């Protein structure tokens, strides 16, 4: 790993560990998907060995495997429809704490868990902070049955939709829910909230990677090479 990669990993670890240290005994914790959250799981494993008692709700099969290896007891939304806290990463975070998520193709379950959580912690490195959402593609989970008409309606919204192709497997990425991911690049996202609603209104779209409805309960932990910065909705200037 080169020096740039080492700095990035250090920043992710700092953010992930800080989030883990915010977890209190007895909490039910939503566990997101991605490299920064896996540092949170790493630190939670250490705290569990020290006596911390928690239960986790994984947002993907991959996170479930990582959490089990870390000896984190797991539970479900069926047993805990309201949870204490969720920790997750993001592809982009803007100045109003709105997010684009879904590079790991788990944003549907991540949004379900975030909605169930009283407090939503987002862990990122400094590169993920942006003035305006849209440099990253917006992932959209789509029913395979409806993918062709959905692609047409996505184009009408002004994007260039591309079905995400798998690596080390021919064909599309298949989510944990059995659906396709369509990555949508928009030239200009003027209102992320309106776009999120418009995407949700398309028949065949299951969920998008825009997270605009959780700002009031969101805390963003930003890992840097030398320090960690924490931002919440109270810090936002309207």
The helix (H) or strand (E) run that includes residue 49 is: helix 35-49
In the structure encoding, which two tokens stand for residue 58, read together? 């994984």
**Can 110 be counted among the known catalytic residues?**
yes
CA atoms within 13 A on the CB side of 202: 26
What is the torsion angle, in degrees rounded to the nearest 10, for the CA atoms of residue 75, residue 78, residue 81 and residue 85?
A: 20
Other CB atoms within a 10 A radius of the CB of residue 167 amount to 6
Tokens 């169930």 sit at which residue?
116
From the candidates 110, 141, 196, 207, give the one annotated as an active-site residue: 110
172 CB neighbour count, 10 Å cutoff = 17
Which pair of structure tokens corresponds to residue 236? Answer: 């936002």
Cα separation, 233 vs 125, whole angstroms: 18
Active site residues: 110
């Amino acid at each position: 790993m080169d020096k740039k990669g080492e700095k990035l990993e250090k920043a992710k670890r700092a953010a992930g560990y800080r989030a883990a240290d915010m977890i209190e005994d007895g909490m039910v914790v939503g566990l997101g998907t991605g490299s920064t959250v896996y540092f949170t799981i790493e630190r939670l494993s250490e705290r569990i060995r020290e006596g911390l008692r928690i239960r986790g709700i994984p947002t993907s099969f991959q996170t479930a495997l990582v959490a089990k290896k870390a000896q984190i007891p797991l539970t479900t939304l069926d047993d805990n429809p309201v949870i204490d806290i969720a920790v997750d990463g993001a592809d982009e975070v803007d100045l109003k704490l709105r997010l684009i998520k879904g590079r790991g193709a788990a944003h549907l379950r991540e949004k379900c868990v975030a909605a169930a959580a009283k407090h939503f912690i987002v862990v990122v490195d400094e590169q993920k902070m942006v003035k305006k959402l849209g440099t990253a593609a917006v992932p959209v989970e789509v029913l395979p049955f409806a993918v062709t008409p959905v692609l047409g309606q996505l184009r009408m919204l002004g994007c260039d939709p591309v079905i995400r192709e798998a690596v080390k497997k021919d064909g599309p990425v298949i989510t944990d829910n059995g659906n396709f991911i369509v990555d949508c690049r928009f030239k200009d996202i003027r209102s992320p909230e309106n776009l999120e609603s418009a995407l949700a209104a398309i028949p065949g779209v299951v969920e998008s990677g825009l997270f605009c409805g959780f700002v009031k309960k969101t805390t963003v932990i930003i890992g840097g090479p030398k320090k960690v910065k924490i931002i919440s909705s109270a810090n936002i200037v309207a």
